[in-house]
Amino acid sequence: MSNRYAIILAAGQGTRMKSKLYKVLHPVCGKPMVQHVVDQVSQLKINKIVTIIGHGAEKVKAQLGESVEYALQEEQLGTAHAVMQAKEILKDRDGVTIVVCGDTPLIKSETMEALFNHHEKMSASATILTVLTKDPEGYGRVIRNSEGLVERIVEQKDATIEEQKINEINTGTYCFDNKSLFAALNEVSNENAQSEYYLPDVIEILRQQGKVVTAFQTEDYEETLGVNDRIALAEAERIMKERINKSHMKNGVTIIDPANTYIGADVKIASDTVIYPGTIISGHTEIGQDCEVGPNSELKDCIIKDRTVVRQSVVHESTIASEVKIGPFSHIRPQTIVHDHVKVGNFVELKKSSIGSGSKISHLSYIGDAEVGDNVNIGCGSITVNYDGKNKYLTKIEDEVFIGCNTNLVAPVTIGKGAYVAAGSTITKDVPSEALSIARAHQVNKDHYVQKLNAKK
Ligand code: UD1
Ligand code: MG
């Protein structure tokens, strides 16, 4: 196997997206398109990956980090000009270079590997990944000669009516002999409908030099979709969603209605978990086995352990342990840790709190900036009063505490182990362990009040 290099084209603005966001940063299933491409390329054995950046360079760099090297294309003069920017890093190297567009988020590493292998087997100077499609509109068309050999690629805008009928398209992914590529790039001109330096022109140049140019036709049109506008973006989202959902189902996850279930590309789910419709699971969420999630739930960057149920709820950036019941209608906000066997019921909001195992917060409560021990019962309508308008304060509720309904715990405050707080209390001072604290007005009953009132009338 020869040395392998990769160039990812990501400098374009993406005018057809009509967006403030640079095209390659538009997410597909929650992950920017260019990140999908880099992740797939990174699965191959590649000596160097160079990403060409221009529009939104800093943002693209912030996204991809140090996983790739960068070359800046200051002016976007076309795809050949873009590749040229990798010259300093790559031009003197022996080996094969794959060029992939940052706007083809569905391309798979296996297909790129097959392209490399085909290229090497054919001892080619260039190999284009092509595909047959019913709708070639917008793509470059592959022109073959009478013997069926690839002659050149013609862009949509430069194609004759006859050429536009060709339904074999350039997917925008190619392998090149590295040195031949950089030599040929010098000869590309911009005399075409868009006055751009087209990378596909390298094919014709190499061909005219008598070099071997081949095409590797893939079967899977969906994988090669180039996203130039929002219509294609929605199509990519649909295909990626289907691919992700199928892979989870193959791994033993039940998805009741895949068309209505949105799972991000980096989500992990263990077997025998059931996902109900209307559920969105995103970021680096990991869900254990035998869980039930949904319907209509939103999980982002969470860790959920085994046999936990999350119904009609929102959980963000939190860890939920095993055999926990969340919802319906709970909101778990970032930095919350819920331990085993906890129940968080309807209309309960948790924020930056830890809830010890076996504890119950079953109805209508707000628990923020709190440390709640094990086997605590928090009655309906209880609130940690954590904010004085300027600062946030901690509430500590030790193990086995019982908090009666409709209680305000004005932080900073500690409720000692095993203590009881009477319903309707507003607690402003620490409660010693095993004490009963009552902090509410005494009840006064005025007998025969109504008769007296009526007599006055
Ligand atoms: C390109 C191909 C076309 C192919 C299609 C596949 C050319 C001229 N045409 O067309 O044959 O069928 O992809 O999807 O290559 N870019 C830069 N710098 C530039 C211009 C573009 O980095 O100066 C990047 C873009 O960010 C994008 C990629 O190159 O990621 C492709 O550019 P785009 O404008 O989308 O080309 P297409 O019109 O789709
Ligand atoms: Mg494109």
Taken as a whole, the chain contains a residue count of 457
Q: What does the buried/exposed string (b/e) look like for 183-220 if buried means 16 or more CB atoms within 10 Å of the residue's CB?
A: bbbeebeeeeeeebbbbbbbbbbbbeeebbbbbbebee
What was the pLDDT predicted at 261?
98
pLDDT, tens digit (0-9, with 9 covering 90-100), for 342-367: 999 999 999 999 999 999 999 999 99
pLDDT at 48 over 80: yes
Q: Which atom of ligand 1 is nearest to the CA of 53?
A: 22
pLDDT at 310 over 90: yes
What was the pLDDT predicted at 13?
87
* Residue 126 CB less than 6 A away from ligand 1: no
pLDDT band at 2 (very low <50, low <70, confident <90, very high): confident
Q: Which ligand is nearest to the CA of 60?
A: 1
pLDDT band at 308 (very low <50, low <70, confident <90, very high): very high
**CATH number given to 251-437:** 2.160.10.10
* Residue 79 CB less than 6 A away from ligand 1: yes
Q: Which atom of ligand 1 is nearest to the CA of 155?
A: 11
Q: Which ligand is nearest to the CA of 33?
A: 1
Nearest to 227 by CA among 105, 325, 128: 105
**C-alpha to C-alpha distances, 436 to 45, 115, 360, nearest whole angstrom:** 67, 74, 19
* Residue 136 CB less than 6 A away from ligand 1: no
SS3 83: helix
What's the CATH superfamily of 4-224? Spore Coat Polysaccharide Biosynthesis Protein SpsA; Chain A (3.90.550.10)
Instruction: Tell me the domain boundaries of the chain.
Output: 4-224, 251-437
Nearest to 366 by CA among 398, 407, 427: 407
Residues marked active site are found at 363
pLDDT band at 1 (very low <50, low <70, confident <90, very high): confident
What was the pLDDT predicted at 457?
83
DSSP string, 174-230: EEEEHHHHHHHHTT----STT----TTHHHHHHHHTT--EEEEEES-GGGG----SH
Residue among 15, 19, 23, 79 whose CB has most ligand 1 atoms within 8 A, to mutate: 79
* Residue 82 CB less than 6 A away from ligand 1: yes
| 238-262: average pLDDT | 98
